[in-house]
Amino acid sequence: MAVEAPEITIRPLADVDIDAITRIDEKVTGIYRPDFWENRVAYYLRRDPEASRVAEQGGRVVGFMLADLRGGEFGLEETSGWIERFGVDPEARGKGIGRKLFDALAEHFKAAGANTLRTFVDTRQKETATFLEAVGFGPSALTALEQKL
């Protein structure tokens, strides 16, 4: 008899997610960087815990998306939802977790009055770029530039 997989639930970010997020990042990048994630989670919690979400399956965090609502940067006066970091546990991929996280955030930002979602992507990271395209991101008039020093 087939065993049904536990349902995936999406909830706001919490302080107790630091370890799980650090672990997902470690699985994806191979780098253990707890200090970095402690700082980022604390930052997003103080900004707005509901603007960042985690996905849980069977009581275990299997994905996260960290974002906030802000404006006034890069000459953009309009307040926009900015997605900075996201990740899905490699063992839990293929279940639409990224899409569920994104939909929850989009709904939150829309309710908060934002008309635009923004993010940056390293186009060399094909998987990330493909995901962002799949959830509806397209090219922006705002282009990321850099200069080596």
Partner 1 sequence: MKVETTRIPKKYEDAVGHWVKHNFQDLPLLEKYWDKYFPSDDAYCLCAKLDLSTSQTQEVGDHKGEPKAEDPSQLTEEAAKHLLAIIRAQASTEFGSIQQHQVTLERSPSDQDKFWVLRVMAEELRHGYQMFHMLTSRNWEPLAGVKTEDMVEDVLAMETGSHVLEAFNLPYDSFVDNVVFSGIIDRVGKYQLTMQKVCAYRPFAQSMPPMLREEAFHLATGVVPMRRWLEAAAQGDAFITPEQIQKSLNKWVPRGLEMFGDERGGDTNVKLGFKDMKNRDAQSKYFDEVAKLLHDLNLRFLRARYVSKSPEDIEKMLATLLRERSTVEGTRYDEILKMPHRNFFRRRGEPSFLMVSVEGDPIADVEDYIRHLAQVLPAAYLASRDMAQYRDLVRKVASGEVTREDAAKKSPMMKRKADSVCPCAKGVRWVDTDGGAEKLPQIATNEGTTGAPTFHCP
| Residues making up the chain, counted from first to last | 149
Measuring CA to CA, how many Å separate 113 from each of 46, 63, 108? 20, 25, 9
**Nearer to partner 1 among residue 88 and residue 132 (C-beta):** 88
DSSP 69: E
By CB under 8 A, is residue 95 in contact with partner 1?
no
By CB under 8 A, is residue 67 in contact with partner 1?
no
**Residue tagged 């191979």 (tokens):** 30
* Nearest distance from C-beta of residue 49 to partner 1, angstroms: 4
By CB under 8 A, is residue 103 in contact with partner 1?
no
Q: Token pair for residue 108? A: 């939150």
By CB under 8 A, is residue 49 in contact with partner 1?
yes
Provide the residue type at 117 as one letter: L
Evaluate the CA torsion angle 38, 43, 45, 49 in order and state its sign: negative
- The interface with partner 1 within residues 11-30 (CB under 8 A) comprises 12-16, 18-19, 23, 26
Which residues form the interface with partner 1 (CB under 8 A)? 12-16, 18-19, 23, 26, 32, 34-35, 38, 41-42, 45-50, 70, 111-112
